[in-house]
A and B are shown apart, each in its own frame.
Chain A
Amino acid sequence: MKPIVPKKNEPVRIGFYICHCGTNIASVVDVEAVAKYAATLPNVAVSRTYKYMCSDPGQELIQQDIQESRLNRIVVAACSPLLHEHTFRKATEAGGLNPFYFQMVNIREHDSWVHTDRTEATRKAMALARAAIQRVPHHKPLEVKKVGINPNVLIVGGGIGGIHAALTLANAGKMVYLVEKEATIGGHMAKFDKTFPTLDCAMCVLSPKMAAIGSHPNIHLWTYSEVAKVDGYVGNFKVTVRRKPRYILEDLCTGCQECVNACVYKDAKFADEFNLGLGKRKPIFLPFPQAIPPVTMIDPEVCLNFKRGKNPDGSHTVSDKCKKTCVEACGDRKAIDFKQTQEIKEITVGTIIVATGFQIFDARRIPYYGYGVYPNVYNALEVERLINASGPTEGEVILRNGQVPKKVAIVHCVGSRDENTNRWCSRVCCLYSLKLAHLIKEHTHAEVYNFYIDMRTPGKGMEEFYNRIAEEGMHLIRGRVADVYPDPNDGATGRLVVQAEDTLTNKILKIPVDMVVLATGLEPHPEAESLRRMFNLSCSSEGWFLERHPKLAPVNTFTDGIFLAGCCQGPKDIPDTVAQAGAAAAEAFALIDKGHVEQEPNTAYILDDCCGCKSCIPLCPYTAISFAEDTKKAIINETLCKGCGTCVASCPSGSIVQNLFEDVEIYSEIDGVLAEGLF
C-alpha cells in the first residue's frame, strides 16, 4: 500500500470509530448517539460504530475507509490506550497513514465500566470523543526511534524462578548476571525435602539446575551481593552491584571444608541461618551441603579473628587474635582473606528480570498461636527443615526436647485470608500442609490434625493430591484455630491444646497435641519497597510487584525491559514460578533478538524562538538539554530525552515542543472535554 502523505493544505478528514466492545461499552454508552454526534463535528468525514474494533474486521474497516474516503486522521473510542493504542496505530499504518495520525479515546475503563447512568456515560463519551476529534488535526507524522539493545541480562534473585530464567537465557547464548543476596542460590525450594503434588524430592530436581548455574560459561553468578543502583532504560541499563565480603576468595576455594573442620571452635555453636536456627554452625561454614557456589564463608560477627561489632560503615575490623587454624588447613590454596572488602561491580545490560521471591509470614504477629513462646510451636519452613534428610536432625522429626511427637496439629491460613494480618490467600499453604501432614505421618506415625478454613486445591493434579492424602487417614477439621495454650494436665513435656470450632459439626474442639505447625502464608519481602524504587516498578497495595496487565502482560512491568518471575509478583507454587520464569526469559529474549528497541517519538525539541534564559536546563532529569554558546539557545539531545515534558511546561517563551503532547493538542483537548451540555 502506498503511504498517504497529506499535502500541506489538504483538508483534514477524520474517521471516527466507536466500539461496542460486545456489550462492555454499548450496554452503558449509547454508541449510536455518540457516532451521530461525532458526525456533526468539524472535519469528521466518516463516523461509525462497530462491535469489536480491535478484531481483524474492525481494523480492516479503518484501512478500507482510509483508502476509499481519503481519511487522513483516525480516532477510535474504545478501551484504554494502554491496551490497544498500539493495535490501532498499526491499523492506521496498514491503511497507508503515518501511525501517529491516530488518537484513542478511553470510554471503557474510564467510562462504561465505572458509570451506571446511561445519559451521563454517553455525554462523557461524547465529550472525550470531541476532545480527540479536536486534537487530531494538529497531529504530525512522526518516526519511531530505534535504538540498539545490549544483549546481556541481569537477573535479581536466585530462587527457582531466577535459576530457571538464567539457565533458559544462558542456554540460548545470552550473557546473564545472576545476583543473589544470600551466600547460595536455591531460594526457598532448596529448603524443602519433597514437593507437592508429586512428592518428588526437591533437591533432586533443583541441585542439577543449581550446579548448571555454577558452571555455565554464560552466567556470572554473584551471590552474597545486592543491586545498589540502576540507571538508564530498556536496552541500556547501567547497574551497580555490591558484592559483600565473605572473606573467602571464591576462585581459590575448592569447597573441601577442611577449614571448617580445622576451626578453633571444635563444636558448631552458632545458630545456622539456612536451618532457621534449628541447627548450629561454626564461624566459618558452608551455607548448606549443596550450596552453589560451593564456597565457604566467614561470619565476622563471631569469628575470633575480627573485633566484635561493626564499624559505622558496616564493615568489620580484623583483630588478628585467632590462631587461624583455618588458614593453616587451607594451606596453599590461600582462599581465606580476612582483609576482603566489599567490591563494587558496574555492568551494562539490556533487560532485567526481577525474581526476588517472598518471605514467610512472621507468626509472632498472631500472639495467641504462641509462636516464639511455646517451643513446640513451629512454622512450616522449620518443619520442612526437620523433615529434610540433610536438615539439622537428618530428617528425624523430633521436638526441641528430643522427643518424637505423637500428635501433631497443622494450622492452615496463618497470616492469610485474615483481616487483621494479610487478606490474600497464599495459594500454597493448603497444599504444603497436606504435604507436611503426609511427611510427618511417614516420619513419625503421629496422628495429624489439619485445621483449615476452606481446603483450596486448584491446579493440575492438586485435587487428586488432596484425595490421596485425605485417604491416608488425616483428621481434616474445618475451623479456624482460636487458641493454642499449654495443656493444664501436662507436666514438663510442653504439650499444647489446640482449640477450634469444628464448623461442620458446630462443636468446640480442644485437642491436646505435642507439636503445632503453623502454615504461615507468603508475604512480600520487606525490601520489596526499596527494590521497587530502584527498578521503577509498581506494587499492588499488598506490596507484590505489579504486572503490566494481569492477563495480557503478566510478566511485563510498567518499565520497559524489566520483567517479573515467581513469587515477587504474588504467591504461587513452583510449577507456576517456573512457567513464569520461562515467560520472562522469552520476553527478554524477544527484545534482545529484535536487536533494537522502538521508542515512542514523544521527545521534545526547542524552537528558534528560544530566548536563551536557560531555565529548562536544570529541570531535565536526564541532562538532555544543553546550551549552544554559538547560537545562544538551548538544544535537546533527542537520544537522551525520555519525553516527560517537564521542560516544555516550564519554558517562559513557549519554545519547547513535545511531540505527541504539543501545547495546541492539549489545549484542544481541554476545550473538547469541556463541551457545553455534555456534563
Chain B
Amino acid sequence: MANATQSPLPNSTWKPRIVAFFCNWCTYTAADLAGVSRMKHFSNVRIIRLMCSGRVDPQFVLEALAKGADAVLIGGCHPNDCHYVEGNYKCLRRYQMLKRMIADMGIEPERLRLEWISAAEGEKLKRVVNEMVETITKLGPLGLPQKFEQWDREMEEFANHVAARDAAAGGGCAEHGTNTQPLETAHA
C-alpha cells in the first residue's frame, strides 16, 4: 500500500480533512438531495454511510482522528425520526461522552459535531458542511498521526537516554537486571 498513499496529484496544500458518518435514512439522503439540487459545498467532507447514527462506534471517531482526520461530523435523523426508533438517542449519549473524552485529550470540541439533518434538508446539509469546513480551517490541522510520530520519537529518545544512563552507571537497574530493553513505543 506504500505507493498508494503517495499523492497522485501534485500541489496539495493543507485543507481540513473531515470524515462524516451519516445514517442511511436521513442525512445520507439529505446529501443526495443536496446533490440532486446542485447545492455546491466544500469537498473536504468524506461521507461514510451507516444504516443508523446508532451504529457510530466511538472507536470510529477516535480511529478517524488518529488516522489523520481534522474533524468528524456525525449526521442522523431528528429526535423521534430515527428509522430504528431511537438509535439517534444512543448516538447522542455516545457523542456527549466523546465530547468530554476528546476535550480531556486536548482536542478542541469543535472537531466533533453531531447534527440532525432530515432527508428533506439538503440546504441544512450544505450549511453544516460549509460551516464545519470554515471552523476547522480556522482551527488548523489536528495532525494526530504526526503527533504520534513525534511522541514515539520522544519516547525512543527517552528510552535511549535511560539506557545510556544505566550503562554509564555500570551495574544497571536493580529491579530489571542489566539488559534493559528499550521502552516500548506508544505507537509502534
Chain A residues 113-165 with CB under 8 Å of chain B are 113-117, 119-124, 126-128, 130-131
Cβ of B143 within 8 Å of any chain A Cβ, yes or no, is no
* B31 in complex: contacting residue of A110, A124, A678, CB < 8 Å: A110
Q: Given the complex, which residues of A lie within 8 Å of B163, measured CB to CB? A: none
Task: Judge whether A679 and B6 touch: CB under 8 Å.
Answer: no
Cβ of A80 within 8 Å of any chain B Cβ, yes or no, is yes
Chain A residues 32-47 with CB under 8 Å of chain B are 33, 36-37, 40-42
Q: Given the complex, which residues of B lie within 8 Å of A82, measured CB to CB? A: 24, 28-29, 32
The 8 closest A-B pairs by CB, nearest first: A677-B7, A109-B35, A645-B55, A646-B54, A644-B84, A673-B46, A621-B85, A649-B57
Interface residues of A (CB under 8 A from B): 33, 36-37, 40-42, 80-82, 106, 108-111, 113-117, 119-124, 126-128, 130-131, 533, 536, 538-541, 546, 550, 558-559, 602, 619, 621-622, 642-646, 648-650, 658, 661, 663, 666-667, 669-671, 673-679
Q: Given the complex, which residues of A lie within 8 Å of B181, measured CB to CB? A: none
Q: List 9 A-B contacts (CB under 8 A).
A: A40-B4, A110-B31, A114-B35, A114-B40, A538-B119, A622-B84, A644-B51, A649-B57, A678-B12
Cβ of B75 within 8 Å of any chain A Cβ, yes or no, is no
Known: A127-B46, A646-B55, A646-B87. A538 touches B7 (CB 8 A): no
Which chain B residue shows the least CB distance to A550? B36
Task: Judge whether B54 and A541 touch: CB under 8 Å.
Answer: no
Q: Given the complex, which residues of B lie within 8 Å of A33, measured CB to CB? A: 8-9
Task: Judge whether A81 and B49 touch: CB under 8 Å.
Answer: yes
Task: Judge whether A677 and B6 touch: CB under 8 Å.
Answer: yes
- Complex alpha-carbon distance, A350 and B158, angstroms: 68
- Complex alpha-carbon distance, A619 and B57, angstroms: 14
- Complex alpha-carbon distance, A123 and B94, angstroms: 32
Q: Given the complex, which residues of B lie within 8 Å of A648, measured CB to CB? A: 55, 57
Task: Judge whether B68 and A131 touch: CB under 8 Å.
Answer: no
Cβ of B56 within 8 Å of any chain A Cβ, yes or no, is yes
Cβ of B69 within 8 Å of any chain A Cβ, yes or no, is yes
- Complex alpha-carbon distance, A673 and B81, angstroms: 29
* A80 in complex: contacting residue of B3, B5, B8, B35, CB < 8 Å: B35
Task: Judge whether A533 and B86 touch: CB under 8 Å.
Answer: no
* A674 in complex: contacting residue of B19, B90, B94, CB < 8 Å: B19
Chain B residues 21-63 with CB under 8 Å of chain A are 24-26, 28-29, 31-32, 34-36, 38-41, 43-44, 46-52, 54-60, 63
Interface residues on B, range: 35 or more
* B36 in complex: contacting residue of A113, A121, A621, A674, CB < 8 Å: A113
Q: Given the complex, which residues of A lie within 8 Å of B81, measured CB to CB? A: 533, 536, 538
Q: Given the complex, which residues of B lie within 8 Å of A117, measured CB to CB? A: 43
Q: Given the complex, which residues of A lie within 8 Å of B8, measured CB to CB? A: 33, 36-37, 40, 126, 677-678
Give 12 new A-B contacts, CB below 8 A, not counting A80-B32, A110-B47: A42-B4, A82-B32, A114-B43, A546-B119, A546-B120, A558-B83, A646-B90, A649-B55, A667-B63, A673-B19, A677-B7, A678-B12
Task: Judge whether B35 and A645 touch: CB under 8 Å.
Answer: no
- Complex alpha-carbon distance, A667 and B24, angstroms: 18
Known: A538-B118, A669-B48. A558 touches B25 (CB 8 A): yes
Task: Judge whether A646 and B19 touch: CB under 8 Å.
Answer: no
Cβ of B115 within 8 Å of any chain A Cβ, yes or no, is no
Q: Given the complex, which residues of B lie within 8 Å of A622, measured CB to CB? A: 84
Known: A621-B84, A644-B55, A650-B90. A670 touches B3 (CB 8 A): no
Q: Given the complex, which residues of A lie within 8 Å of B50, measured CB to CB? A: 645, 661, 666
Known: A645-B52, A661-B50, A670-B64. A675 touches B4 (CB 8 A): yes
Task: Judge whether A649 and B56 touch: CB under 8 Å.
Answer: yes
Task: Judge whether B51 and A676 touch: CB under 8 Å.
Answer: no
- Binary interface profile of B, 145-177, with partner A (CB < 8 Å = 1, else 0)? 000000000000000000000000000000000
Q: Given the complex, which residues of B lie within 8 Å of A675, measured CB to CB? A: 4-5
* B68 in complex: contacting residue of A539, A661, A674, CB < 8 Å: A674
Task: Judge whether A661 and B121 touch: CB under 8 Å.
Answer: no
Task: Judge whether B83 and A536 touch: CB under 8 Å.
Answer: yes
Task: Judge whether A42 and B64 touch: CB under 8 Å.
Answer: no
Which chain A residue shows the least CB distance to B94? A649
Q: Given the complex, which residues of B lie within 8 Å of A602, measured CB to CB? A: 51
Task: Judge whether A645 and B51 touch: CB under 8 Å.
Answer: yes
Q: Given the complex, which residues of A lie within 8 Å of B121, measured CB to CB? A: 541
Q: Given the complex, which residues of A lie within 8 Å of B69, measured CB to CB? A: 670, 674
Q: Given the complex, which residues of B lie within 8 Å of A666, measured CB to CB? A: 48, 50, 57, 60
* B67 in complex: contacting residue of A124, A645, A658, A671, CB < 8 Å: A671
Task: Judge whether A670 and B60 touch: CB under 8 Å.
Answer: yes
- Complex alpha-carbon distance, A121 and B46, angstroms: 11
Task: Judge whether B48 and A673 touch: CB under 8 Å.
Answer: yes
* A124 in complex: contacting residue of B32, B46, B52, B80, CB < 8 Å: B46
Q: Given the complex, which residues of B lie within 8 Å of A649, measured CB to CB? A: 54-58, 90, 94
Cβ of B100 within 8 Å of any chain A Cβ, yes or no, is no
Q: Which of A37, A126, A539, A645 has the most CB of B within 10 A?
A: A645
Q: Given the complex, which residues of A lie within 8 Å of B84, measured CB to CB? A: 621-622, 642, 644, 646
- Complex alpha-carbon distance, A120 and B15, angstroms: 11
Q: Given the complex, which residues of A lie within 8 Å of B120, measured CB to CB? A: 538-541, 546
Cβ of B111 within 8 Å of any chain A Cβ, yes or no, is no
* A110 in complex: contacting residue of B25, B32, B94, CB < 8 Å: B32
A18 to chain B, nearest CB (A): 14
Which chain A residue shows the least CB distance to B3? A40
A642 to chain B, nearest CB (A): 6
Q: Given the complex, which residues of A lie within 8 Å of B5, measured CB to CB? A: 675-677
Q: Given the complex, which residues of A lie within 8 Å of B40, measured CB to CB? A: 114-116
Q: Which of B3, B43, B44, B69 has the most CB of A within 10 A?
A: B43
- Complex alpha-carbon distance, A122 and B7, angstroms: 12
Task: Judge whether B9 and A122 touch: CB under 8 Å.
Answer: yes
B52 to chain A, nearest CB (A): 4
Cβ of B188 within 8 Å of any chain A Cβ, yes or no, is no
Which chain B residue shows the least CB distance to A133? B4
Q: Given the complex, which residues of A lie within 8 Å of B123, measured CB to CB? A: 541
- Complex alpha-carbon distance, A58 and B185, angstroms: 50
Q: Which of A113, A128, A533, A539 has the most CB of B within 10 A?
A: A113
Q: Given the complex, which residues of A lie within 8 Å of B59, measured CB to CB? A: 663
- Complex alpha-carbon distance, A648 and B57, angstroms: 8
